[in-house]
A and B are shown apart, each in its own frame.
Chain A
Amino acid sequence: DTEVTQTPKHLVMGMTNKKSLKCEQHMGHRAMYWYKQKAKKPPELMFVYSYEKLSINESVPSRFSPECPNSSLLNLHLHALQPEDSALYLCASSQDPSSRRATIYFGEGSWLTVV
């Protein structure tokens, strides 16, 4: 079973709203990721959590705030977003961030529209 579950699948929010994207995996993976993908572009890495600690922040604006409550859950808190932040947000996980065979498995994504 290689399932990463993301909610909500679609989200429309105003520029003054506060919302959260949620991600869950029960594969025992110890690395979890947030990617952002715009139309016809590849996924761009935003954050990496390794053993529940933030290990990579790709200079993401502070209006995006990740949280890893436990090894199975990953949240992305959104506040004061801009219309250009509208994109597909992909959560992913892998077995072990230091393993050379740590294949990344993606969730189905959350489509975010900022109005």
Chain B
Amino acid sequence: GQNIDQPTEMTATEGAIVQINCTYQTSGFNGLFWYQQHAGEAPTFLSYNVLDGLEEKGRFSSFLSRSKGYSYLLLKELQMKDSASYLCAVRGNAGKSTFGDGTTLTVKP
């Protein structure tokens, strides 16, 4: 089975940096995804990690340690529009991806 843990809520200030952690225990691992979901909208893809290390994409970076079952999403230069839910998803066997419960990020002025 899959067990994915993320903090439920986080708050940060505009212009700051925030790190959202995700830990997982899975029976198979074929990559870890981060998605952003604004209220009332569908999830949108942010990043993908399958090897250990840091993947950087503009203001967003994602890190993976497979041995520790740990990932984080780093958001820099926070903007008000970054207020959203951030979903960690682990891709297991047979094309099946399981989502964590998501972290609701609130960015304050």
In this complex, how many residues of chain A approach chain B with their Cβ under 8 Å: the count is 26
Known: A101-B48, A105-B45, A108-B42. A55 touches B95 (CB 8 A): yes
- Chain B residues within 8 Å of A55, by CB: 94-95
B83: shortest Cβ distance to chain A, in Å? 15
Indicate if A74 sits at the interface (CB-CB under 8 A). Answer: no
Residues of chain B having any CB pair with chain A under 8 Å? 30-31, 33, 35, 41-45, 48, 50, 87, 89, 91, 94-102
- Chain B residues within 8 Å of A44, by CB: 99
Known: A43-B99, A98-B95. A103 touches B48 (CB 8 A): yes
B55: shortest Cβ distance to chain A, in Å? 12
- Chain A residues within 8 Å of B41, by CB: 108-109
User: Out of B31, B44, B98, B102, which one reaches A45, CB within 8 Å?
Assistant: B98
User: Out of A2, A42, A90, A103, which one reaches B101, CB within 8 Å?
Assistant: A42
B4: shortest Cβ distance to chain A, in Å? 9
Residue pair A103, B45 in contact (C-beta under 8 Å): yes
User: Out of A42, A94, A101, which one reaches B100, CB within 8 Å?
Assistant: A42
B86: shortest Cβ distance to chain A, in Å? 11
- 18 pairs, CB–CB < 8 Å, chain A vs chain B: A31-B95, A42-B99, A56-B96, A90-B42, A90-B43, A97-B94, A97-B95, A100-B50, A101-B31, A101-B48, A103-B33, A103-B45, A103-B48, A104-B89, A106-B42, A106-B43, A106-B44, A109-B41
